[in-house]
Amino acid sequence: MSPKNVVFKKVCKDKSVTVYMGKRDFVDRVDSVDPVDGVISVDTEALQGRKVFVTLSCVFRYGRDDMDVMGIAFRRELYLSTRQVYPPLQDRDKAVHTKTQAKLLRKLGDNAYPFFFEFPDNLPCSVAMQPAPSDVGKQCAVEFEIKAFSAERQDAKIKKRSAVRLMLRKVQYAPESQGPAPSVEATREFTMSDRPLHAKASLDKEVYYHGEPIKLHLQVTNNSSKNIKNIIVSVDQVANVVLYSNDSYTKSVDIEECGDSVPAGDSLKKTYTLLPLLANNRERRGIALDGKLKHEDTNLASTSIVKEGALKEVMGIMVSYRVMVKLIVGGVVCVCVCVCVCSELEEELVFQEFKRTYLKGMLGDDDDEEEGNVSGGDDMAPKEK
């Protein structure tokens, strides 16, 4: 195993349960999703006869957990699956383990037990709405979480000291096959003008990756009697919160006011370059982002790709992108051309998250925050503080 691999470790406060995971980003390829696997290490003395369970949950949050209106909480659980880890329900040595699990089990000894989950087909990817700098509390988001806890039984009340939470991220992966390059045309006729204004906009391809410039090819044929005084091109992000009220938020994530003019009877053929980046939109409220793990940066949300037959109503937040072209005549938008575009994650970007500088002993502000150590190395031996 590569010496650059990282093991994520988190311990509950009473030291009875420790979670180990080889990664926290899981890729959704539409037709398949990476399974969630890890290892739970238990302290049998600290458990005092209690059992150990692990859960995978998907939650849509559109307000603080402690808020509710007329008895309706601002939090909806989209998925919950629970496994009993200790005492084990099957022989550990007879089960099939991933390569990471096998190494961890050898290192951690007899008190370590594997767990394994598979995502169902109809779950959304991790998305969060960026709050304003003055906003407090948790933002509107679709979040995934692994929680391990010890209790007398599965439905017993869970003590915070005996539970450990680890946030995960489910990310969208662009399909290998691309459709035709987007192209659209628009024509506008004016009163007292015998001939129309015609505009055509096109892109090089349908799918763009994060950080990749978008080249927009624009052709304008102005046979009208009007003068085009300005051209504005932009990349708009459209985020639809479909789960509870179907709210829609449209934000320009990159805009260029070119100042180009096209007099009556003239034409224009030009290529514009747009580069939508989160770095230029960090202070703007309502921008949809890919799910964020603590201590890590993120990027603009990838386009939502829904598997055929899945219900869009349970997707939480649906994200799409479009390129807009506005031709200004006398201060009025006379032609508006819209070209749809996808924005996805490259496969390489998914795994770069695990090559960052190791985080040691970072403690969260409360039990819901990340805490514990991240360790790594050639032998994958976890290191305590």
Place of tokens 């985080």: 359
In 134-246, at which residue ranges do the beta strands (DSSP E only) sit? 141-151, 163-172, 183-188, 197-203, 207-209, 214-222, 230-241
280 phi and psi angles, rounded to 5 deg: -95, 5
The reply to whether domains 6-173+347-376 and 183-344 share a CATH topology is yes
Residues 190 and 208: their CA atoms lie apart, in Å, by 36
Residues 249 and 26: their CA atoms lie apart, in Å, by 27
Residues 8 and 379: their CA atoms lie apart, in Å, by 14
Encode the chain (385 residues) as per-residue pLDDT tens digits.
345 577 888 998 888 899 999 888 898 887 788 899 999 999 888 888 889 999 999 988 775 544 444 455 567 888 899 999 888 887 766 777 888 888 888 888 888 999 999 988 788 888 888 877 676 667 788 889 999 999 888 888 888 888 999 999 998 887 777 778 888 888 888 777 788 888 898 988 888 888 889 999 999 998 888 888 888 899 999 888 876 666 788 899 999 988 888 888 899 999 999 999 888 888 888 888 888 776 677 888 888 887 776 666 667 788 889 888 888 886 555 545 555 544 443 332 222 223 333 333 333 344 444 443 444 444 444 444 3
Q: Indicate the domain borders of the chain.
A: 6-173+347-376, 183-344
Residues 231 and 295: their CA atoms lie apart, in Å, by 40
Q: What is the 3-state secondary structure (H, E, C) of 311-326?
A: CHHHCCEEEEEEEEEE
DSSP, res 176: S
CA–CA distances in Å: residue 77 to residues 53, 63, 105, 123: 18, 13, 32, 11
Residues 22, 100 contacting (CB under 8 angstroms): yes
What is the model's pTM? 0.75
Residues 285 and 294: their CA atoms lie apart, in Å, by 19
State which fold the 6-173+347-376 domain adopts. Immunoglobulin-like (2.60.40)
Residues 273 and 327: their CA atoms lie apart, in Å, by 17
* Closest among 162, 39, 54, 38 to 112, alpha carbons compared: 39
Domain 183-344 has CATH 3.30.390.30: no
- So what's the pLDDT on residue 97? 82
- So what's the pLDDT on residue 137? 64
- So what's the pLDDT on residue 106? 87
